[in-house]
Structure 1
């Protein structure tokens, strides 16, 4: 605690223009709260002149983020969705197979998104609900009672990988490879995942080859409800290049993994830190429906997205110049008291629980939001069915070294019956 307080005081001494929230150690040390609170109060549209990623703007208030996210004419997504542009190498023969329609603007974005969206439509997801519940129930039934273990790896990772393998149609015994690919897609050299951009690129090209092989296998089989089969048999998807296909699948690997996996762990942590809310949920299990979006808001698993200004534009009294990089900090917008009442509190029975930015806004709103909510709803329902007294977090949380994904790599817990 003394170390955190010292770091906060050191940060408070910085001139506002010297604040750089792209530093991933801020999030690994869980210090982002007071930093973003200061930016929202003093400089909500903030220009950082020097960072490891070059100059960029930070947009930190709820309404300003919506203004950027819903204006794709001025704020382009093309090759600008992350702080580090070396993650994407354009669309040539040596392009890195990530980004897909997330890194496109209309009309190209709309065409690509429509090809993928049927697999994540509510009617198709309903086919998976029984399977998700059965797997969740079995995973929870095997947990040790009264013994310490890592919830993040034992429960959150395993459940998410099982579901993602089923959704995509990846062989079940290869599901752990999906987690590796997801971590590599979101990774940067030095974060403990990859050592170099060359290693990252090599592993992602391996991912591309694997998905292209699976697509060819699906083309020779009868159509089914999994995503790869839908893409393999879709007449519209036949015009997709191999790179476009792999890039779009990569979005679903990350979205289907990071959002749900980290929200599962974050929910356990939130209820540990707020035992009154756990008691409230146990007394009224119907509150699961509002607890799910509150967990997603509270944690904000995808913390930021980037855009590139296509023209000069005024926002929050600042002039953003054509070509400037603009980062939307969803993790800050979700704590904006001017837009969300008691935004700094974890409250599972909010009047408007879906008033959050964790899924983005506008044309790039997360395509898998209903899947994530369904998985988390079943997750909480099955935990409640076990009627445990509480799940105690026994050690400090291990957060990922990232300024984009709010990852929980370690969550040591003990279940009290």
Structure 2
């Protein structure tokens, strides 16, 4: 880590521990861009595990920062709603006229039937069919990398592999697959000067292009016999075939972001973690069977989605605080995954943890990530193929992180590889 980053961390710690608790806004996207959010969550876990921020650019919200409290909220969908009409699943409220339902932003029973419509794509049998395809593509991508020169791991490996996988899941035109990455980034980014989009109107126009493209694919698939891709599954399923355009776009964005951001950022996070903990890299090279426990440990350590949000539909007592009906409640997975009362030595990256799957990154309860096994499979395969080819992937500089308190990700990571 560069000296500047160490100074930044020290300054952040000093600030996090001296500011009044009532002034704390842990959801500030700038904290995530600079990787300085950690001491804020550490202090909240210790002093105010259920914390109220009364004013922010996202409005007022509760932060739930401990592992067990997050589990309480996540598994209680009767009290804590995901409904898009109440604000949905992120700290940022969509404008009321732009709230798009998707099955992650729905409550039962509608959630259950829509989720069921797409879940066959990640059935054990289907994953078995996909494994050789993922392996072949991973091999091809890795074989094309330059040896001994610095390049961007995010663009050349993480984005490329996950976007190829998404194109397969949707049976999306392969040569246009980078559109999927672009729409995923547009959907999760905040409009700002110099950003990916500068205004909300521009952002919506881009998402309408996404809808138009996917509507064309829907119209093709609905008039053909059912096939094994996600669009065909939705077009031919009773629960999803009559979706409104807004609902269709909501589900498309959910599936793109779910299949893209999470795996892509874990793929980069794993490289970073092994460089920050070189003894673990040595351990892995000496015993490749540790991949089985390393993959979930990467997903815990990275926590590719920093939070999920709910809205209370009745008053509820949690951690000595009364959350009122209508309040916004943010479950900070990124904090729960570093909770020392639930996970031993949580700050360290340990590839042979005894219980590596004890993490919150996939969520719990009815909204647990539908593609969690596919994400793990992709990571496992890519690391198997890396270890066959390269003795070392060396990080050559600090990553550029995404300015978001929802997607905890990377824009670039400079690396150099040796055979």
Could you list the per-position Cα deviations for residues 82-121 of structure 1 after superposition, in whole angstroms to 9, with x for gaps in the alignment? 11112x53xxxx6454x50111111111121111211222
1:257 partnered with 2:260: yes
CA distance in 1, matches of 2:336, 2:300: 10
Partner of 1:115: 117
State the partner residue of 2:3.
Answer: none
SS in 1 for 2:394: strand
Partner of 2:245: 242
Task: Tell me how far apart the structure 2 counterparts of residues 400 and 273 of structure 1 sit (CA, whole Å).
Answer: 19
Q: CA deviation at 1:33?
A: 1.3
Whether 1:279 and 2:282 are equivalent positions in the alignment is yes
SS for the counterpart of 2:360 is coil
Bigger drift between 20-29 and 220-229 goes to: 220-229
Distance 2:412 2:64 in 1: 30
Map 1:358-373; keep pairs closer than 5 Å. 358-373=361-376
Q: How does 1:129-168 map to 2 (within 5 A)?
A: 129-168=131-170
1:49 partnered with 2:54: yes
Post-superposition CA distance 1:331-355 (Å, at most 9, x none): 0000001111111111111111111
Asked whether 1:352 is paired with 2:360, we answer no
Which of residues 20, 23, 35 in structure 2 aligns to 1:15? Answer: 20
Structure-1 separation of matches of 2:400 and 2:410: 6
Q: Is the 8 A contact 1:169 1:229 kept in 2?
A: no
3-state secondary structure, aligned to 1:22:
coil
C-alpha deviation, 1:196, in angstroms: 1.2
Alignment-derived partner of residue 415 in structure 2: 413
Unaligned runs of 5+ in 2: 1-5
Structure 1 residues 236 and 310: alpha-carbon distance in aligned structure 2, compared to 1, 3 A threshold: closer
- The residue aligned with 2:293 is 290
Aligned to 1:33: 38
How far apart are 1:194 and its partner, in Å?
Answer: 1.6
Q: CA deviation at 1:242?
A: 2.9
Contact 2:8/2:36, CA 8 A, preserved across alignment: no
Aligned pairs for 1:323-334 (under 5 A) are: 323-334=326-337
State the 1:57 CA deviation.
0.3
CA displacement, residues 144-176 of structure 1 (integer Å, 9 cap, x when unaligned): 111111101111111111110011111001100
Aligned residue-pair number? 410
In structure 1, the residue matched to 2:127 is: 125
Matched with 2:75 is 70
For the 8 Å contact 2:24–2:53, the answer to whether it is kept is yes
Q: Do residues 101 (structure 1) and 100 (structure 2) align?
A: no
Note if contact 2:30-2:403 (Cα within 8 Å) is conserved in structure 1. yes
TM-score normalized by the length of structure 2: 0.95
Structure 1: segments with no counterpart, 5+ residues = none
Note the alpha carbon deviations across 1:266-312, whole angstroms, 9 max, x for none.
00001111111111111111111111100000000011011111111
Task: Give me the CA root mean square deviation.
Answer: 1.4
- Match of 1:327, SS state, is strand
- 2: distance between equivalents of 1:84 and 1:284? 43
Question: Does the 8 Å CA contact 1:96/1:205 hold for their aligned counterparts?
Answer: no
The question of whether the paired residues in 2 share the 8 Å contact of 1:184 and 1:203 is answered with yes
Q: Aligned to 1:8, what secondary structure does the other structure show? A: helix
CA distance in 2, matches of 1:194, 1:323: 31
Instruction: Give the 5 Å matches for 1:290-309.
Output: 290-309=293-312
- Cα displacement (A) at 1:10: 2.5
The 5 A counterparts of 1:194-209 are 194-209=197-212
